[in-house]
Amino acid sequence: MIAEMDQYVDFWNLMAYDYVWSGSPQTGHQANLFPANDSSTPFDTLTAVNYYISKGVAPQNIVLGIPIYGRAFDSTAGAGSPFVGVGPGTWELGIYDFKELPLIGAKEQFDSKLGVSYSYDATKREFISYDNIEMVNQKAAWIQKSGLGGAMWWESSADALGSKSLIRSVYLALGGQDGLGLEMTSNRLAYLDSTYANLRAGMLDSESASESTFESTVSAASSSTTTGTVTLTTIITTRTVTVFKSQAN
């Protein structure tokens, strides 16, 4: 099926996240790059990417999906352990916007061998799997090394601002120039007649949400590298952001 579809699509957005969720039998890492030797995660991104390539998809046509949210698990000893409940979350039970993480009292961890980051609150016994700055920088380097087409996220309104932004970090790691190429205009969409209160209010969850919600736009920036010219094309909507990387030697 993948090989048959590939001839009709320009690129594949690989949703490399949600490897675990509230319905999983135990806690785990939701977006790890590499396979684990234990029960801390059932899937991994490397295997998924290699599967698409084995079916004929060119690496440069694969866009790596990165989560800008964390999945929480309560009453647990950590990844690979049983849990009871998932916590309140930001928008829905068990899911926190990245801009709220790590939560107060939680200790953040980064494991480059497995390609994961997470936080754990030993007092609350709460484990949250999410990508932090270190993790997305590792993924950006892996995108370059693997010759993939770029990165995309779900979803842009959950990102932090300024130097804490995951989108900005990956953009810079792929060769972008700070202050160029990323459109930061506030949301201009309006659904004043919507049945839903949050849409009438501009899809905002707080007074600051509009600062990290982007209008639909396309822009580009370029910079020189030792291997040639890297051109980054950024497509931003109110929900997702995709950064494409093209390189000419």
Query: Of the candidates 14, 228, 12, which has an alpha carbon nearest to the alpha carbon of residue 139?
Result: 14
Q: Position of tokens 């039970």?
A: 93
Interval 36-50 mean pLDDT: 95
pLDDT digits (tens, 9 = 90+) for 220-230: 333 333 334 44
Find the DSSP H helices in the chain: 2-6, 45-54, 133-146, 166-173, 197-200
The class that CATH gives domain 2-184 is alpha beta
Question: Lowest-pLDDT range, 97-101, 107-111, 117-121, 178-182?
Answer: 178-182
Domain residue extents for the chain: 2-184
Q: What angle do CA 190, 193, 199 make, to 5 degrees?
A: 50
Q: What is the spatial distance between Cα 12 and Cα 168, in angstroms, rounded to a whole number?
A: 22
Q: What CA–CA distances, in Å, run from 63 to 41, 144, 165, 234?
A: 22, 11, 19, 12
Q: Which pLDDT belongs to residue 208?
A: 36
91 near 205, Cβ under 8 Å?
yes
pTM of the predicted structure, to 2 decimals: 0.78
Question: Lowest-pLDDT range, 73-77, 105-109, 189-193?
Answer: 189-193
Q: Which pLDDT belongs to residue 225?
A: 35
User: SS3 for 139?
Assistant: helix
What is the distance of C-alpha 95 from the center of its chain?
13
**Could you please report the per-residue DSSP string of 94-133?**
TEEEGGG-SPTT-EEEEETTTTEEEEEETTTTEEEE---H
Q: What is the spatial distance between Cα 150 and Cα 180, in angstroms, rounded to a whole number?
A: 17
- Signed CA dihedral, 133, 136, 138, 141: sign only: negative
Percent of the chain with pLDDT over 70: 78
pLDDT digits (tens, 9 = 90+) for 70-92: 999 999 999 999 999 998 999 89
Q: Which pLDDT belongs to residue 3?
A: 93
Sheet holding 150-154, edge to edge: 12-14, 62-67, 150-154, 240-248, 228-236, 217-225
Q: Which pLDDT belongs to residue 201?
A: 81
Q: What is the spatial distance between Cα 67 and Cα 113, in angstroms, rounded to a whole number?
A: 19
Q: Name the pLDDT band for 209 (thresholds 50, 70, 90).
A: very low
Q: What is the spatial distance between Cα 120 and Cα 129, in angstroms, rounded to a whole number?
A: 9
Alpha-carbon Rg for the chain in angstroms: 18
**What are the structure tokens assigned to 114, written together?**
């497995």
